[in-house]
Amino acid sequence: MEENGDPLIVRVGTFFMVLGAGSFFLFVTSDIADKVDFDYLFIAMLLLVVGWYFRRGKTPPPASGRFSGVKSFLSKRKKGGDGDKKESK
């Protein structure tokens, strides 16, 4: 049943975060219309916190290795293998 491998609680967290973002959008829209309704802001904050709480247990994706060449270059440079240092007498 789980097509992408995420547990149900992570999906529910994502749902709450999307609802929080939508509620925040409604708050910004009400501010632009000069009829500020802070209820939208408080609901957005609550939904985003609950969504983050549910999603925080999700494991991060594995590293893809796209920047392994850059990382090895930077690690060699930090170790001093560059050879561009000038000797002063």
Mean pLDDT across the stretch 2-10? 73
Q: How much is the average pLDDT of 17-40?
A: 94
Tens-place pLDDT, residues 25-36? 999 999 999 999
Structure token digits, residue 43 = 């609901």
The mean pLDDT value of the chain amounts to: 83
Confirm if 44 and 24 have CB atoms less than 8 A apart: yes
Q: Are 55 and 13 in contact (CB under 8 A)?
A: yes
Mean pLDDT lowest among 31-35, 59-63, 82-86: 82-86
Contact 31, 40 (CB under 8 A): no
